[in-house]
Amino acid sequence: MTKIIGLTGGIGSGKTMVAEYIKSLGIPVYIADDEARELMSSDKIIKAISTAFGNEVVNNGTLNRDKLAQIVFNNPEKLQRLNSIIHPEVKKHFDVWVEKHKNFPFVVKEAAILFESGSYKYCDAVITITAPLETRLQRVINRDKTDRNSVLKRIQNQWTDEQRIAKSNFVINNLSIDATKKQVNEILELLKNQ
């Protein structure tokens, strides 16, 4: 039976870099945010979101992501409502994806909110990526061309590293690419031998 390895970490911790590295080793990696974004362009999800949040979040049959973000990111109840529409669809999609990759000893599910969404419960092990706050802030400011306060707000909406670490089987401290790859290799070796 294929094992599911969760990969998570706060914004700017380096999840994407680690996921890409794991993928380069021939291990299937499911990027939950990318798949959710794709699913959010389906008519079924757009209709459900429009019903929940009003027609102003849809322009000519397309989701207005900026408008939706303005509504949900400062309101935990509305964010929860949006997640209750999207997460079940991502779960179904992921289950089909795992079935397609059942010949692999394990697959990796990369998700920013692996714990918050409850999907860690379906994982056989979880890897958390950490990095110092200032490093994370700088990475996101550079990547998203945004400001410090916006990034801090997003960080405050996520679990802390301490919360994630407490529920994780492995922790990677992402300070340099070479050191991080070495830690990933060691963890993958342990997983292969389990």
Burial tier of 61 (Cβ tally within 10 Å: 0-12, 13-18, 19+): exposed
Residue 12 in marked binding region: yes
Residue 15 in marked binding region: yes
Residue 13 in marked binding region: yes
Give the Cα separation of 12 and 141 in Å (integer).
9
Residue 6 in marked binding region: no
- The token pair at 133 is 């706050």
Residue 26 in marked binding region: no
Give the Cα separation of 134 and 132 in Å (integer).
6
Residue 40 in marked binding region: no
Give the Cα separation of 22 and 18 in Å (integer).
6
Please state the separation of Cα 29 from the chain's center in Å: 11
Closest CA to 157 of 100, 98, 80: 80
Binding residues: 12-17
Binding site as annotated, residues for ATP: 12-17
